[in-house]
Amino acid sequence: MRAFDPGPPSPRRGWQQALRMPHLVAAAWVASWLAIAPALLVLSQKVSFALAPLPGEAPGGDIDLIILEAVREARTPLAIAVLCGVAGWWAWTVLWHAGVVRCQLRTGGRRARLSDLLGVGVASWWRYARLSATALVALATAAATVWLPLWWGVAGGSAAMTERRLIASASAGAVATAVAVIVVWLATLHGAWLLGLPGRRSAALAWLAGLRSTLRRPLPCLGTWLVWVVPALLVSAVVPLLGGVFAGLRGGLLLVVVGLLVSLLRAFCWVGLFCSFGPGTGLVGIPEDQPAAAAGSTQQDQKAVQEIMYAQEAWQDGR
Rounded to an integer, what distance in angstroms lies between the CA atom of residue 5 and that of residue 216?
11
Q: Left (φ > 0), alpha (ψ -120 to 50) or beta: where does 250 sit?
A: beta
Rounded to an integer, what distance in angstroms lies between the CA atom of residue 309 and that of residue 297?
18
Cα 78 to chain centroid distance, Å, stands at 23
Contacts made by residues 286-292, CB under 8 angstroms, sequence distance 24+ = 286/105, 286/106, 286/197, 286/198, 287/198, 288/106, 289/198
Rounded to an integer, what distance in angstroms lies between the CA atom of residue 244 and that of residue 53?
27
Q: What is the pLDDT of residues 166-215, one digit of tens each?
A: 788 888 889 999 999 999 999 999 999 999 887 777 999 999 999 999 99
Indicate the DSSP class of residue 248.
G
Rounded to an integer, what distance in angstroms lies between the CA atom of residue 30 and that of residue 226?
24
For the chain, how far is it from start to end, CA to CA, in angstroms? 19
pLDDT tier, 54 (very low <50, low <70, confident <90, very high otherwise): low
Whole-number pLDDT of residue 259: 81
Contact between 28 and 97 under an 8 Å Cβ cutoff? The reply is no
Q: What is the pLDDT of residues 94-140, one digit of tens each?
A: 999 999 998 888 776 667 788 888 888 998 999 999 999 999 999 99
Whole-number pLDDT of residue 308: 46
Cβ within 8 Å of residue 195, ≥6 positions away: 101, 127, 128, 131, 203, 206
Please state, rounded to an integer, the average pLDDT across all residues of the chain. Answer: 79
Contact between 263 and 32 under an 8 Å Cβ cutoff? The reply is yes
**284 pLDDT exceeds 90?**
no
Sign of CA dihedral 141, 145, 147, 151: positive
Rounded to an integer, what distance in angstroms lies between the CA atom of residue 243 and that of residue 237?
10
pLDDT tier, 316 (very low <50, low <70, confident <90, very high otherwise): very low
Inter-CA distances, 216 with 5, 69, 151, 205, Å: 11, 51, 32, 17
Indicate the DSSP class of residue 47.
H
Lowest mean pLDDT among 146-150, 215-219, 246-250, 273-277: 246-250
Rounded to an integer, what distance in angstroms lies between the CA atom of residue 313 and that of residue 317?
6
**318 pLDDT exceeds 50?**
no
| Angle at CA of residue 227, ends 226 and 231, nearest 5° | 95
Contact between 272 and 11 under an 8 Å Cβ cutoff? The reply is yes
Cβ within 8 Å of residue 313, ≥6 positions away: 2, 4, 5
Rounded to an integer, what distance in angstroms lies between the CA atom of residue 261 and that of residue 259?
6
Cβ within 8 Å of residue 305, ≥6 positions away: 198, 199, 286, 287
Nearest-Å Rg of the Cα atoms of the chain is 24
